[in-house]
Amino acid sequence: MTAPRPAAAADPAGEPVAGGRRRRSIQVLMATALLAVAADLGTKHLALVTLEDREPLRLLGGAVYLTLTRNSGAAFSLGSDYTWIFPLVTVAVIGWIGWMARRLGSIPWALSLGLVLGGALGNLIDRIFRAPGPFVGHVVDMVSLFDPHGQVWPVFNLADSALMTGVGLAILLEFTGRQRDGSRLSAGDDADSRLSAGDDAGGRS
């Protein structure tokens, strides 16, 4: 006879902990993405209004320059000859984030995925709605480091920064063993996984 499985733990309001954690994580993901998109669109609008037809604005002793450019490539001006590909890549990224979110129960992972989603959407909006036309529009960039014309580091925008920060955070979370469902792998868990894989390989030989 099989013993009944224990019910999921509940919080004081009676809501299962796992379900509540997932709901909060999805809310953080969406709020982060919306904030990143809003900030990106706002800074692009300001750049178009204030930087059009003027010399680059020097800040922080030349460490940062604000200079308006229109980029047909990907993040940091990469792949400028293949503009039409990037909306397709963005749709794939959004689908990947949706798949990842099915097991999401971690606030740090929610922040990471929200930043990636917001960055991808911010530049996708430019691709769709800006000149020269739908899905081949040029992205508005305005931040250059250590050089007024992007000779040291490619000119970028807030969406690029959000995207790269989200990717960097995801790499950090992977290296520290933090899982998307909110659990965390210990060094012992990792060693046990490697030992089990070695035993399985030995058993097949």
Query: What gap in Å lies between CA 150 and CA 144, rounded to an integer?
Result: 5
Taking the mean position of all CA atoms in its chain, how far away is CA 42? 18
Q: Would you state the structure tokens that stand for residue 83, as one six-digit string?
A: 């503009």
Name the active-site residue from 40, 147, 160, 200.
160
Name the active-site residue from 81, 141, 181, 189.
141
Whether 192 is catalytic: no
The amino acid present at 133, given as its one-letter code, is G
Whether 189 is catalytic: no
Print burial letters for 53-85: b (CB count within 10 Å at least 16), e (below 16): eeebeeeeeeeebbbbbebbbbbbbeeeeebee
Catalytic residues: 141, 160
